[in-house]
Amino acid sequence: MAPPSAGEVRQLLRRAGRLGGDARGLIAEYGKAVADVRSALEPVRERQARAELGAIPVSRLKDVTGGGLRLTALEEAGYSTVLSVLDATPYELQKLPGVGPKTRWQAQSAAQQIARAARESGTVHIDVERQDAETTRLLVALHGLVAAGPELSRARRTAQALEQRLKALVPDARSLGRWWRRLLTGGKRRARAEQAVERIAELLAEETETRLLLAQATTDLLRPPPDATQAWIDFELHSADYYNLLAELSALAPLDRAAAEGFLPDDLAERVRRQELDDTRRRVSLRGYQAFGARFAIVQQRVILGDEMGLGKTIQAIAVLAHLHARGTTHSLVVCPASTLINWVREIEARSTLGAFRLHGDRRDLARSAWLERGGIAVTTFDGLHRLAPSPQVGMLVVDEAHYVKNPEARRSRAVAGWCDQVARVLFMTGTPLENRVEEFRSLVGYLQPDLRPKVAAGAQAFRRAVAPVYLRRNQEDVLTELPGLVHVDEWEEFSTADADAYREAVESSRFMAMRRAAYAVPEKSAKLERLRELVDEAAVTGLKVVVFSYFRDVLASVADSLGPSIHGPISGDLAPERRQHVVDAFTEAPGHAVLLAQIQAGGVGLNLQAASIVIICEPQVKPTLESQAVARAHRMGQVRRVQVHRLLTPDSVDERMLRILHAKTVLFDTYARRSDLAESTPDAIDISDQSLAHQIIQEEQQRLAGGPAHGR
């Protein structure tokens, strides 16, 4: 093939110049937008750092100076916080009796050191209840970048890569753009020039698509800024995107790396960090800990992602799927509860360019045929999985709420095990990898790494070391530091006379479930229900949304009758997935105050309820994970308000006895499945099955009501 003529080379260079100009234009506009964000961020960060310093006692200065600083004179003079010392002039401090030049210098140096740390590591909290001018300016600056959407990151990387490549190639290629330059170009230089022309032609092969990508991103960045009201409304709707962007720009200080990486061994963590993550088929930016989680699943291939509720496990799974499909995988399968199936399909379609096929309902056979023919992500339920024969075409299996297959003898567990045997890459997702027995966790590990299961020791520390290659967990408190506060309030309400009569009858007849809901047996005289109405009325005054959880349908029916016809739900186990999502959407989109009712075993799984900032739990649950899952549906990434959790309880009743045992179960979970280094203990020491729990409580309550001794455990 003949080399291009001088005219063809000049035409190629003109096209490259236009493409390079587009790239430089996007880089410049992005740089301006980032500079605006950082400029707006500084006063917000400074204000929040000063508030933090104002809460730090002056005694903390000793920690910085090794304990040798004498602070008595400062404290006696009213300098009680680090901020007060920081703001004082040298003259003001040194004129105090007992404060010499050395003490003054040490105190202020220590205060400045703490102040620097506060500014560098402090997390920016955006409070929707405090819409001041400084924070508004920050949101307006962020809005342009958020509104540009997930394609901005890809466009920016494309622009940077283009600029670097063209900057290196164009000077060499110019020597072939004029006939006289060709004559003066030596052999080696001519070969380099021909190679540069060839590389430029390759870059221009998708010129139209690339220019469109760059032009759209640049246009998005040039949109006029929103007004203050629009900026705050958009933040409430997309707060996770705003915080993700702050993290991506390194505007927020880096989190504790060890916590963000699940406290994995150093050698494993380093291998995970080195893993490249292809985002060409992904349409969402990741937090640092989310990118690490996706890389962990790619490197280790068969893993349990056990992140606490609300940390974006679905996003991480989609990032893994997008990476694999960008690198050649054609088919993947997601297995989930029916209640989360619609959400999975929505998230795949919104967060990636992958096709999602719903293998459920009347059209599942057509969807299965389309998936097998076209490739993409099939989504099915646990009950539907046994209808699918394991296929070698499937490159990855994702199992959501994997604790559903903790019992190896169940049909759905056997179906999942069969697929695990045939698929090389498997991702189990669960925020509750064990509930009552550590053996359940061992079962999950056994599906993925059969050789690892026998090595799992009983002691907590040994257990966590053994499962590190297969298990990654991060907690909200470690990685989502911008989340607003979570306030737990135990609402203790004495039985009314009617409640007490119903409770005594349930105890005498040994009906455990009747004991648990006796406080609602006579709704018009229920003390708990009266308190629930008060809490809902308070939320209505402030325009806050409320979600009410109970294990029992009849309790929710009583709540519905008490609150009137304006409530949403209830969400129950037999509600069709489509209807369930419709109820949640209506609740979320309702203006101002609204109330959603949900069975805790149904509403606590697979739903995003961050529109709610008040959570009411009608009675304690047998499994602590039921409550934590339910709360995490509201207190999760995207929540912009402080979440208040009100648990309705009755003293001297089944409630009080259950709480004691729930605490023991929570300790078991923390010991084995969280990262905290608690004392080692054997799982059998505090394992209590549901049946034995009920029997124990009934006996204790019968003895108490009969006037005999009630021995607690």
Per-residue b or e along 159-179, where b marks 16 or more CB atoms closer than 10 Å to that residue's CB: beebbebbeebbebbbbbbee
Read off the pLDDT band of 422 (50, 70, 90): very high
| Token pair belonging to 302 | 């068969």
CA atoms of 392 and 422, how far apart (whole Å): 7
Read off the pLDDT band of 121 (50, 70, 90): low
| Token pair belonging to 361 | 């309902």
- Classified as helix, coil or strand, 643 is strand
Beta strands in 337-410 (DSSP E): 356-358, 376-381, 394-400
Q: What is the pLDDT of residue 396?
A: 96
| Token pair belonging to 63 | 């920690």
The pTM assigned to this predicted structure is: 0.63
Helix H, strand E, coil C: the string for 191-241 is HHHHHHHHHHHHHHHHHHHHHHHHHHHHHHHCCCCCCHHHHHHHHHHCHHH
CA atoms of 40 and 27, how far apart (whole Å): 20
Counting residues of the chain whose pLDDT is more than 70, the rounded percentage is: 84
Q: What is the mean pLDDT of residues 5-10?
A: 78
Torsion 627-632-634-639 (CA) sign: positive
DSSP letters for 135-186: HHHHHHHHHHHHHT-THHHHHHHHHHHHHHHHHHHHHHHGGGSSHHHHHH--
For 327-384, the pLDDT digits (tens) are 999 999 999 988 778 778 888 998 899 999 999 888 889 999 999 999 999 999 999 9
CA atoms of 364 and 440, how far apart (whole Å): 32
The CA-based angle 320-323-327, given to 5 degrees, is 140
User: Mean pLDDT lowest for which of 8-12, 254-258, 273-277?
Assistant: 254-258
Read off the pLDDT band of 185 (50, 70, 90): low
φ and ψ at 384, to 5 degrees? -85, -15
Helix extents (H) in 449-552: 460-467, 476-479, 497-508, 512-516, 527-542
CA atoms of 547 and 616, how far apart (whole Å): 6
Per-residue b or e along 428-465, where b marks 16 or more CB atoms closer than 10 Å to that residue's CB: bbbbbbbbbbbebbbbbbbbbbeebbeebeebbeebbe
Q: Report whether pLDDT(395) > 80.
A: yes
Residues whose CB falls within 8 Å of the CB of residue 11, separated by 6 or more in sequence, listed in order: none
Q: What is the pLDDT of residue 647?
A: 87
Most confident of 47-51, 289-293, 574-578, 677-681: 289-293
Q: Report whether pLDDT(293) > 70.
A: yes
Q: Which residue from 123, 154, 136 is spatially nearest to 30, judged by alpha carbons?
A: 154
Q: What is the pLDDT of residue 356?
A: 95
Q: What is the pLDDT of residue 677?
A: 29
Of 35 and 713, the structure prediction assigns the larger pLDDT to: 35
Residues, the chain:
713
